Structures are given as C-alpha cells and as structure tokens.
Amino acid sequence: MAESSYTSLPTSHLPGSVPAVITEVKAPVIQQDPEANLQIFPPNSNAGGRGYQTLTGPSDGNGQQSGNSWNGAFSISSYTQYFNVDTDDVVNRLTSSLYPTGDFFRKIEANPDLYGLIWIATTLVFVIASVGNLATYLMIKKGDSSVAWSFDVNYFQVSAIAVYGYAFLVPLGFYLLLQYFGSKVGLVHLWCMWGYSLFIFILSSVLLVIPVEFVRWSITIITGVASAAFVGLNLRSHVELTELTLVLVAACVLQFGLAIFIKSWFFQ
C-alpha cells in the first residue's frame, strides 16, 4: 500500500525531473494554385452584393466559356467556320448576285463563307473550258464542215489559272488597298462577295455556245455590266472612304475585263 501511494505522486515539480513530451497534432495545410481563384479589386458594388468577383474566361450567352475557333493556319478546323452554310444560304446569295442591290455585305455580315468562292470558281473553270471547246466546234462546222477539229485541253489550264488567280488575288489586292486607305473591311468578306460575283459568268458561258457573234458579244457586255454593278454597288454601300471612286472604277473595270477575256479567249 505504501509503495503504491508513492508511485502515484506527481514528479514534474521535483528537481531533476524531465517533463513529458506532448505531441501536437497539426492540421494539414492545403495549398491552392494562386491563379485558381483570382479576384477583382475593388469589389463590384453594383453586382447585387456579390462582393469580390472571380476572374474567369469569356463566356457566351448560356454561361459557357467560349474558345477561339482559330487553331492555326495549317489546321483544317480553323477553316470549317467559313463553310458553315446550308443550301438555302447559298441559293439566297446566288440569287442576290444576279440582282445587284448593294445589300450583299449585310446578308453575309454574320457568316461570310468560302464555299461559294471555291465551288463557283471550280464550276466556272470546267464550264468555260468544256463549253468553249463546244463553241469552237460549232463555229468551225458552221463555216466549213470539212475542217478537222480537235479538243483543246489547254483550255482547262488557261481557265484554271485565270479564274482561280482572279478569284483569290483580286480580292486580296483590294483588301490591301483598302487597308492602306484606312478601311476595316474583312478579307473573307471580300473573297465571299467576289466569289459570288462569278456566278453570272457560269450562266453567260453556257449561252455563249450560240454560234452567232453578235449574240455572243451582247451576252458578254450584259454580263460584264451586271457583274461590275454588283461589285461596285456593294463596295460603295459597305466601304466608307474619301478615295472610294478610284477603288470602284478599278473594281468595275476588272469585272468587265474578265467578261471580255472569257469571250475573246474561249469563244473566238
């Protein structure tokens, strides 16, 4: 009994005694990314009491973050947005190109496409090359049926260089010219407008197969005037420049010159 009473006495106050080591349990420290919850300072007092606002990426109307659709010049996905048109859109734009009212840029403002440019240019290449050969055959047979005729494959090469070069380089040249004068017109919008302006040349090329020279020149002049009016009116309504007259004259001359070139080279 005596020994048990001595052992129960506290010994921490006695000389030479060693205090017991007490282990402290520390709460785990959670580290966060400093950029994960950035806040705008000062708080926005007009946001209905929201206080500090977290910085997030741009979002669309549904609250979803919107990403940039441009993935590089060598990525096919970067150009899919310029082919996002249906049949109704294409037909509407083709019809508008035949009735030059000057509102074409308004119709394509939200969704300019390159589908019309590539499709119309490619169709025009094959039409003027094939129909041009047919027209040459009819003219030869009309004059002297004994003269031999052969299909001229060079028509395809010349038509491809002329049409594709005109469809892509002329709008690019006017884009650089308008940028120099201070206009903010988009390159894709110019490509789209000039591409649809070539649609009337497909129709006129089919009519140029008629083996009557007077009729051919009449069709050529009407086509040149109509296409020049379409390009000129739309540029005048969309571009705001003090030097716009020079730009309009150059555009109209090029459109009319294309009509003369097609008639002179492929429908002699």
5 in a domain, yes or no?
A: no
Q: What is the DSSP letter of 49?
A: S
Asked if residue 2 is part of any domain, the answer here is no
Domains: count for the chain? 1
Domain membership of residue 96 (yes or no) is: no
Q: 76 in a domain, yes or no?
A: no
Rounded CA separation 206/130 (Å): 10
In a domain, 258, yes or no: yes
In tens digits, the chain (268 residues) has pLDDT values of 445 544 555 555 555 555 555 555 555 555 544 444 433 334 444 444 444 333 333 334 433 333 456 676 666 777 788 888 899 999 999 999 998 888 899 999 889 999 999 999 999 999 999 999 999 888 887 777 677 788 889 999 999 999 999 999 999 999 999 998 888 889 999 999 999 999 999 999 999 999 889 999 999 999 999 999 999 999 998 887 777 888 999 999 999 999 999 999 999 8
| Separation of alpha carbons 236 and 173, rounded Å | 17
CA-to-CA dists, residue 239 to 73, 83, 91, 107, 190, angstroms = 27, 24, 25, 15, 11
Containing structural domain, residue 130: 111-266
Please indicate, yes or no, if residue 22 is contained in any of the structural domains: no
DSSP letter for each residue of 63-100:
SPBP------TT-GGGTGGGG---HHHHHHHHHHHHS-
Determine, yes or no, domain membership for 237.
yes
The answer to whether residue 154 sits within a structural domain is: yes
pTM (predicted TM-score): 0.72
